[in-house]
Amino acid sequence: MDIDILLDKSTDFSSISNYLEKTDISYHFYKSTEDLENHLSVHRASPLIIPGSLIDQAEELADKSLLVIVDTEYTAENILQSLRSGAEEYFSLDGKTGSFESLIEHLSKIWRSDVNNSEQYFKIASQQAYHSEFWFDPNDKLIFQSPSIERMTGFPLQKFLDDSPEFFFSIVHPYDLKTFLDKEAVFLKDINNPPLIQQYRIITKTGEIRWWENIIQHIFDHRGTYIGRRGTSRDITKQILAEQETEKIIKEKELLVKEVHHRVKNNLAVITGILNLQKLYLHDERDTYILNILKNRMDSMISVHELLYSGKSTDTFDLEDLSKTLAMNLVHSTDLISQDIEIVYNINPVPVKSELASPLGLILNELITNCLKYAFTDRPRGRIYIGFNILDEIRTLYVEDDGVGFPVEVIAGENHNLGLTLVKSLASQLGGELLLNNNNGSQAVIVFPAQPEK
């Protein structure tokens, strides 16, 4: 217990200090009210003893501390004045109302009562808590375990205190125990390790499996001396079950989406098969050419849906994989020119949102087809460059070649064929634009912004 004592110039407190030296009570002398008030402004109030000569200051101090007036003269006037000033107790050192020893004993009883009440409140709170606190000393001995462990596990508190930590290990789920112990062993090797967070299962007394989360950290006192480790265990079963249910729903959704892509791909394949059959009955080269262009567009859509349902994620896709598949199919198309075409890829390896797969797939199909049809009419071989870059919030897709380049009227926008018209329309749907240029061959660039999150 701590006691504050305010001094005056006339009162002899030597008997008080001589007595206090023989006890475990801490006391502090203050030579002025200002010093005392400075102390009370930053520290918790302790019982305060002031001499009768300073009774005029007692009323103000009574609001800040348990106030006791100590006087050397026992008179009714002094007692009455003390009570009016707000004092809780009045003692005279002449022995008529009690010795200083009885005063200290009285204050000690009040202090012990406050401590007992605080301990009772803490015990009730820890019993009803939804988590459990524990503390190990530097010798790995469990010195505190909150009573809420009984409610959380069904086992008595004393079992954990008597058989720690072996008993606790016995209730950790066998499938999680090795990982639990391995991580704790690494944590205990160095007291400077950061806090350890573990999620694992325990088995309660009734056989119920519950998910727990432990947070353990090494503790040091104000001098930097290691004093052990403390931790918190909390039940996270509801959280884990909710996460598992969410994960299950996401997987089911992904399966459904993949099934949709698979069916769309199959339906498109049926249509492509019909187009191939129709070609057998066509005799006009112009009609056959148009049908082949239509079939290539259908094939590009098939490639898109095949990539989406066979990928790891239904939310994103790999644009380089799609580009390579489309280019390979088009280069090896029997109705297009020589197979001696080199494709150079420079595609930023970032996942692209799945909703962009169809428009980007069609754009690539048209631009690659355009290169194969028109760029290399004067030679048997050529090179095509396909790239995709990201700069801040701007996406850039380009297809270039080292061929003859675009006609002037195409760059001017005066004579776009159906393919370039389709590309321009798709670029607009993405919020972007189509840019055409000649630079040692044709350059077709699509610039569009990042798509907003849904």
- Domain 129-240, CATH: 3.30.450.20
Q: What is the 3-state secondary structure (H, E, C) of 167-195?
A: HHHHHECHHHHHHHHHHHHHHHCCCCCCC
Region for 421 from its dihedrals, namely left if φ exceeds 0, alpha if ψ lies in -120 to 50, beta otherwise:
alpha
Check: CATH 3.30.70.980 for 319-449? no
Calculate the CA 177 to chain-centre distance: 25
CATH topology of 2-107 equal to that of 319-449? no
Residue 124 has pLDDT above 80, yes or no: no
Greater confidence (286 vs 403) lies with: 403
Greater confidence (5 vs 64) lies with: 5
Residue-level pLDDT at 44:
60
What's the rounded Cα separation, in Å, for the pair 173 and 432?
56
Highest mean pLDDT range out of 45-59, 110-124, 130-144?
Answer: 130-144
What's the rounded Cα separation, in Å, for the pair 345 and 368?
12
Burial 342-376 (b: 16+ CB within 10 A, else e): ebeeebeeeebebebbebbbbbbbbbbbbbbbbbb
Paired tokens of 33: 């009210």
Residue-level pLDDT at 113:
59
Instruction: Report residue 415's pLDDT band, with 50, 70 and 90 as the boundaries.
Output: low
Instruction: Report residue 96's pLDDT band, with 50, 70 and 90 as the boundaries.
Output: very low
Q: Say if residue 203 is exposed, middle or buried (CB neighbours under 10 Å; 0-12, 13-18, 19+).
A: middle
Q: List pLDDT tens digits, range 61-75.
A: 655 555 565 555 545
How is domain 2-107 classified at the CATH fold level? Answer: Rossmann fold (3.40.50)
What's the rounded Cα separation, in Å, for the pair 93 and 77?
16
> Which helix H or strand E contains 102, and what residues bound it?
helix 100-128
Please name which of 96, 102, 63, 104 lies closest in space to residue 79, comparing C-alpha atoms: 96
Residue 233 has pLDDT above 80, yes or no: yes
Residue-level pLDDT at 97:
46
- The whole-model pTM stands at 0.46
Residue 23 has pLDDT above 70, yes or no: no
Q: Where are the domains of the chain?
A: 2-107, 129-240, 319-449
Sequence-ordered alpha helix ranges (H) in 280-356 = 285-310, 319-331
If you compute the radius of gyration of the chain from its CA atoms, what whole number of angstroms results? 42
Q: Say if residue 71 is exposed, middle or buried (CB neighbours under 10 Å; 0-12, 13-18, 19+).
A: buried
